[in-house]
C-alpha cells in the first residue's frame, strides 16, 4: 500500500503530540483529524503536499470553507488545532514561516442567542424510544436519563463507576473535567433507570464502569459511544439528531421551568463560574414574556 506524503507528516505529528507534548490519546485523535483534513486538501489542491510553498491565503481559505459547515464551537476547535499543526510544521522546518497568525479567529458573542434544548414532548419521545424489555434498551434509557435529568456530559457518563453510586445516601459521584469530583443527589427516576440496567441488563463482567457493552468484548463505553447512543435514539424517535450536550442544555432548561434558580442550575451542572450559567438566563421564553410590562402610555 502506497503511503502518501500526508500520512508521513501525520505519523510524525502524532508522535510529536504524544511524546513531546504529552497529549492524551483522545486529544491526539481530534488534533490529527484536523491535520489530516488540512493536509489532504492541500495535497489535492496543489497536486502534491509541497509545504514549502504554503502561504497565508491557503490557510485562510481552508478555515473559511470548513467554518461554513461548522458550529461556532466546532470552528473554534478547528482553528486551535490548525494553529497547533502550523506551529509544529514551522518547528520541524517543513514551512519557512510561522503561519499561525494567518489562521483567522472565529467571532462569537456570548448570550447572543437562546440555548437550544429539547422540549418536554420531544424528550419524552426520546426516552420512550428505548425498548426496556431488552438489555440495550435498559442501558440506553439509563444513559439518556442521566444526560437529561442531571446534565452529565458524555464523558462523565462513560467514566461513571459502580462505586460512584451511593444508594444509601442517594448520591452520585461525578468525575468531571480537570479531575474534579462532585456529589449530586440521585433523583428517584434516575435511580430507577440505573437499577433497571444494573439488575436486569448489565452483563456480569470485571469492568468497574457502570455502563458497558452488552456483547463481547465486554468493557466500558467511550464518550463517543455515549454520544452515538443519543444519535440512535433520535433516529428511532423520529427527531432531528442532536448531540449528547444538547441534553445537558435540556436538563438546565427543565430545572428553570420547574422553578429552579440559576444558582441551582450552576450547582447541578457544576459550572466553575456564574458567567457560564448566565447563558441560561433567557432560556425560557415563556417566563421572559410573563415579566415583560407594557410601555407606559401605550395604547390598549
User: pLDDT tens track of the chain, all 300 residues?
Assistant: 567 888 999 999 999 999 998 888 888 999 999 999 999 988 887 777 888 888 898 898 888 888 777 777 788 888 999 999 999 999 999 999 899 988 888 766 554 555 577 888 999 999 999 999 999 999 999 999 999 988 888 889 999 999 999 999 999 998 877 778 888 889 899 999 999 999 999 999 999 999 999 998 899 999 899 999 999 999 999 999 888 888 888 888 777 776 766 677 667 777 666 655 555 555 555 444 544 455 555 554
Beta bridge partners of 181: 175
Q: What residues contact residue 249 under an 8 Å CB cut-off, 6+ apart?
A: 115, 116, 117, 280, 283
Q: What residues contact residue 186 under an 8 Å CB cut-off, 6+ apart?
A: 165, 166, 167, 170, 171, 172, 194
Enclosing H/E stretch for 184: strand 181-185
Asked about 236 being catalytic, the answer comes back as no
What is the chain's alpha carbon radius of gyration, rounded to the nearest angstrom? 23
Given the residues 132, 138, 141, 153, select the one marked as catalytic. 153
Given the residues 177, 183, 231, 282, select the one marked as catalytic. 177
Sequence ranges of the domains in the chain: 5-102, 120-285
Asked about 271 being catalytic, the answer comes back as yes
- Fold classification of 120-285 is hpI Integrase; Chain A (1.10.443)
Given the residues 245, 257, 272, 274, select the one marked as catalytic. 245
The span from the CA of 68 to the CA of 203, in Å, is: 44
Given the residues 12, 36, 257, 271, select the one marked as catalytic. 271
3-state secondary structure of 161: strand
Asked about 280 being catalytic, the answer comes back as yes
Beta bridge partners of 212: 220
Q: What share of the chain is helix, strand, coil (3-state, %, to 5)?
A: 60, 5, 35
CATH of domain 5-102: 1.10.150
Question: Whole-model pTM?
Answer: 0.59
Given the residues 83, 132, 248, 270, select the one marked as catalytic. 248
Indicate the burial class of 277 (C-beta count within 10 angstroms; 0-12, 13-18, 19 or more). buried
Domains 5-102 and 120-285 equal at CATH topology level: no
Asked about 282 being catalytic, the answer comes back as no
Amino acid at each position: 500500500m502506497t503511503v502518501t506524503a500526508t500520512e508521513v507528516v501525520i505519523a510524525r505529528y502524532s508522535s510529536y503530540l504524544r511524546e513531546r507534548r504529552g497529549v492524551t490519546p483522545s486529544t491526539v485523535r481530534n488534533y490529527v483529524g484536523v491535520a489530516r483534513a488540512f493536509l489532504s486538501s492541500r495535497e489535492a489542491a496543489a497536486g502534491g503536499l509541497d509545504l514549502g510553498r504554503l502561504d497565508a491565503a491557503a490557510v485562510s481559505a481552508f478555515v473559511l470553507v470548513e467554518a461554513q459547515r461548522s458550529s461556532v464551537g466546532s470552528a473554534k476547535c478547528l482553528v486551535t488545532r490548525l494553529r497547533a499543526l502550523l506551529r509544529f510544521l514551522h518547528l520541524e522546518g517543513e514551512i519557512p514561516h510561522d503561519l499561525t497568525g494567518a489562521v483567522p479567529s472565529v467571532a462569537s458573542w456570548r448570550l447572543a442567542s437562546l440555548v437550544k434544548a429539547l422540549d418536554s414532548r420531544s424528550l419524552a419521545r426520546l426516552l420512550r424510544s428505548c425498548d426496556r424489555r431488552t438489555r440495550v434498551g435498559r442501558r440506553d434509557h439509563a444513559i439518556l436519563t442521566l444526560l437529561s435529568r442531571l446534565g452529565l456530559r458524555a464523558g462523565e457518563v462513560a467514566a461513571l463507576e459502580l462505586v460512584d453510586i451511593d444508594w444509601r445516601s442517594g448520591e452520585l459521584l461525578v468525575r468531571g473535567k480537570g479531575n474534579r469530583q462532585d456529589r449530586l443527589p440521585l433523583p428517584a427516576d434516575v435511580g430507577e433507570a440505573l437499577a433497571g440496567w444494573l439488575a436486569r441488563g448489565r452483563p456480569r463482567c470485571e469492568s468497574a464502569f457502570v455502563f458497558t457493552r452488552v456483547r463481547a468484548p465486554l468493557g466500558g463505553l467511550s464518550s463517543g459511544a455515549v454520544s452515538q447512543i443519543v444519535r440512535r435514539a433520535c433516529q428511532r424517535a423520529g427527531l432531528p439528531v442532536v448531540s449528547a450536550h444538547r441534553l445537558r442544555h435540556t436538563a438546565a432548561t427543565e430545572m428553570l421551568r420547574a422553578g429552579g434558580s440559576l444558582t441551582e442550575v450552576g450547582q447541578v451542572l457544576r459550572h466553575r463560574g456564574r458567567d457560564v450559567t448566565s447563558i441560561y438566563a433567557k432560556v425560557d421564553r415563556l417566563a421572559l414574556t410573563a415579566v415583560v410590562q407594557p410601555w407606559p402610555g401605550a395604547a390598549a
